[in-house]
Amino acid sequence: MSKAQFAQRRDGRVAALQFLYAWSMNPPKNLAEDLRTFFENCEHPREHYAFGEELIHGVIEHSTEVDGHIRTLAQNWEFERIAKIDLAILRLAMFEMIFRKDIPPVVSINEAIDLSKEFSNADAKRFINGILDRLKDQLGRDARKAE
C-alpha cells in the first residue's frame, strides 16, 4: 500500500469514527441525508472517504453483532458505562476484524490504538487493546495476514 493510500484509509477511519461517535449519540432518521451533510463538511471530496463510508455502513449494519462481542469481551465493564468515543473506536475495529478479511486484524488493532491516542484519554488505549486482543485470539485466523 502506498503512502497516499495509507493516508486516505487513515482519513477514512477518522471520518468513520467521527460519524459513528455522532451516530451513537443521535441516530439519524435519514442515514443517506446525514452522510451527505457530514461529507459536505469534510476537508476532501466525498470520494476520498469511500473506505470510511464502507466502514460506517458496515458498523451500522452489523451493530447488534458487534455490540454483542463488545459486551462479552469487556469483562468487568458495563456496556452503558463505556465512553462513547471508545465505543465508536471498538465498533470500528471489531467490524474490520470480523467482517473485513482483506485487513489483517493487527492492522485494525494498531489503527484503533492510534485513534484512541488521538481522540480519547490516556487510559483508553489499554482498555481498547485488551478487548481487541481477546477478539483477535478468537478469530481463528492469522492476525498478521489478510485473506
CATH of the domain at 130: 1.10.940.10
Which has more confidence, 70 or 4? 70
| Stretch 64-83: mean pLDDT | 92
DSSP secondary structure string for all residues of the chain: --HHHHHHHHHHHHHHHHHHHHHHHS--S-HHHHHHHHHHTSSS-GGGGHHHHHHHHHHHHTHHHHHHHHHHHSTT--GGGS-HHHHHHHHHHHHHHHH-TTS-HHHHHHHHHHHHHHHS-TTHHHHHHHHHHHHHHHS-S-TT---
| Stretch 76-94: mean pLDDT | 94
Neighbours of 113 (CB within 10 A): 18
Q: Which domain holds residue 10?
A: 3-138
Residue 105 has pLDDT above 90, yes or no: yes
**Residue 147 placed within a domain:** no
| Stretch 98-120: mean pLDDT | 96
> Which pLDDT value is given to residue 53?
97
**Residue 145 placed within a domain:** no
Mean pLDDT of all residues belonging to the chain: 94
> Which pLDDT value is given to residue 1?
76
> What's the pLDDT tens digit per position in 12-56?
999 999 999 999 999 989 999 999 999 999 999 999 999 999 999
Residue 71 has pLDDT above 90, yes or no: yes
Domain count, the chain: 1
**Residue 146 placed within a domain:** no
Which has more confidence, 98 or 122? 98
Contact (Cβ atoms closer than 8 angstroms) between residue 19 and residue 56: yes
> Which pLDDT value is given to residue 99?
97
Q: What is the pTM of this model?
A: 0.94
